[in-house]
Chains A and B, each alone.
Chain A
Amino acid sequence: MIEVENLTKKYGDLVAVKNLNFKVEKGKIWGLLGPNAAGKTTTMRILTGYLPATDGKASVANYDVFEKPNDVKKITGYLPENVPLYPEMTVHSYLSFVSEIKQIPASKRKEAVEKAVEISGLETVRKRLIKNISRGFKQRVGIAQALIHNPQVLVLDEPTAGLDPAQIIEIRKLIKSLKGEQTILLSTHILAEVTQTCDGVVIINEGNLMASGSLEELTASFKEKEGVVIKLKKEGKDVLSLLQKIHGVDKVSHADDEFKIEWTKGKDMRDEITKLIVDKELGLIEMRPLAMNIEDLYLKVISGGVAQ
């Protein structure tokens, strides 16, 4: 649905996005992840036709963004980082204005506004001036604005920025409820957001693509070592050295009452470890697999230590 090929954007000498490649399949939610100033907003602005790219190709639903911008704009809903609101308008009049410029036929506008109000939960504030409603509602008006013309593709730039935890959960629910019908690309620097809402992720840093793929794929490919975390009744240096002596174990570390044991991918040392614990009566309390979470993945990718 969304395809980006060798996309490059330069602002003068500053390269904001460099040779970016990624694909988002129809009906999926993908996260565009990266630290601040990584090029997330620039990428989204190019995809929505706000900015032209310096080089490369981008297409939405097989329409080239540069050659057929109007076709792309018709099927794309966009929530910019700064929600584009006119504070002197009421929520309702703002949404009817948007419905007009998004080319919704006159006979269907009313219905479209109603639907957007309903989906985004704006019923209580629809008659109020936008300048008088809270930050959370403003964000929702932004989302309503993005999906008012029932677009096939939604591009959301930091949809949960600046909201309180309850509002964040609501907005995430709202985004998840759109999954299936719409293809969604959302940018964020909140890692939990990706694990909770996204099917896949594109990680960029300083304009470069660091990694992209589904979450499972990525975590699997980045995991070089496997291991377990165990919690024992007995602790101390002798326990540590006992564990280290197990043949095949590469690394054992001790922190927060827990031992982290790692070995090279492909082996399975769990039997040996349990045997040792039982033999030496170390008192096993807990054993769990060493999972690579999104934070580890992110930090590893951003630091550039791992090849793609």
Chain B
Amino acid sequence: MKNIWAICKKEIKTYFTSPIAYVAITVFLVLIGFFFYSLIWWFNSQSLQMAQNPSYYQQLNINQMVYSPLFHNMSIILLLMVPLLTMRLFSEEKRRQTDELLFTSPISVNQIILGKYFASLFVLLVMLFLTGILSIFVFAYGNPEPVPVLNGYLGLFLAGAAFISAGIFFSSLTENQIVSAILTFGTLLLFWILNWASYSAGGIWKSVLNYLSFFQHFDDMTRGILDTTDLVYYLSFIFLGLFLTHSVIQSRRWR
């Protein structure tokens, strides 16, 4: 645990002493702010129109009309940002040959991987936490249901955590950060849209593709549904990413 913390602390320091974390967080917040503004503006105009018709007015739901699309937008931006956050984690160590320091120190490969993983999770948490400012306004001037909102944030966190595990894996594959980022982004996007293929597929393939798709699981969570299959999906994705990273690092040293 102590060793994981040592690595994690160093990585967090690197994120926040270089411009990486600030740029990523700022861009993320600006984009989310923009989406939030547009959605709220649209919700307002809908409310004004429907105010004349009380039966429709009852159907207006800020959770579904603002939060659900906002969470979807956030997840897509995370899909773009996470590869940039994770691309240097192992690639840079290898390129600078600082991995020689890490792997000749009395700490295990797992501890190194987890330390780096938790550092990226921390940056993700900071990003998500800061978007909470937007919710302060929504809760102050409206009355959304809090549970689906929290559930949506949990979904975002789990999706982000899964993205990071994929990012670490691709970072361990190459010394080139750009290659690492492109591979991560491509893979994540493919997983995101895998359910598109399920429309044309039949039988067992339909459900397999649906299950594998990020979108399906994330969509549930933004609508306030917390299902164990979704949790299992994310956790196994994370585990697989970290496990593959471990295998890659070990096999490289044995070659």
Which A residues are within 8 Å of any B CB, using their own CB? 11-12, 45, 48-52, 70, 73-74, 76, 78, 80, 82, 84-89, 93, 97-98, 100-103, 145
Contact = CB atoms under 8 A, between A and B. Distances in A.
A98 B104 contact: no
Contacts of B255: 11-12
A238 B103 CA distance: 68
A73 B107 CA distance: 9
B142 interface: no
A49 B7 CA distance: 19
Nearest to B7: A101
Interface in B50-102: 96-102
B205 to A, nearest CB: 40
Majority secondary structure, B binding face: helix
B247 interface: no
A49 B104 contact: yes
Interface string B101-129: 11111111000000000000000000000
Contacts of B18: 88
Contact of B105 (A45, A86, A87, A101): A101
Given A51-B253, A86-B14, A88-B14, A98 B101 contact: yes
Majority secondary structure, A binding face: loop
Given A88-B18, A101-B7, A80 B106 contact: no
A76 B104 contact: yes
Contacts of A145: 101
B6 interface: yes
A69 to B, nearest CB: 8
A88 B17 contact: yes
B14 A101 contact: no
Interface in B1-21: 2-3, 6-7, 9-10, 13-14, 17-18
Contacts of A78: 100, 104
**A11, A76, A97 pick with most chain B CB within 10 angstroms:** A97
Contacts of A93: 13
B253 A102 contact: no
Nearest 7 A/B pairs, CB to CB:
A84-B101, A100-B6, A73-B106, A84-B98, A101-B105, A80-B100, A48-B104
Contacts of A87: 96
A101 B107 contact: yes
B119 to A, nearest CB: 13
A74 B104 contact: no
A52 B254 CA distance: 6
B10 A97 contact: yes
B98 A73 contact: no
Contact of B6 (A12, A51, A74, A97): A97
Contact of A84 (B2, B9, B14, B96): B96
A213 B232 CA distance: 61
Nearest to A86: B98
A85 B104 contact: no
27 contacts: A12-B255, A48-B104, A49-B103, A50-B100, A50-B104, A70-B106, A73-B104, A73-B106, A80-B101, A82-B97, A84-B99, A84-B100, A86-B14, A86-B98, A88-B17, A89-B13, A89-B17, A97-B6, A97-B10, A98-B101, A98-B105, A101-B3, A101-B106, A102-B105, A103-B106, A103-B107, A145-B101
A248 B254 CA distance: 59
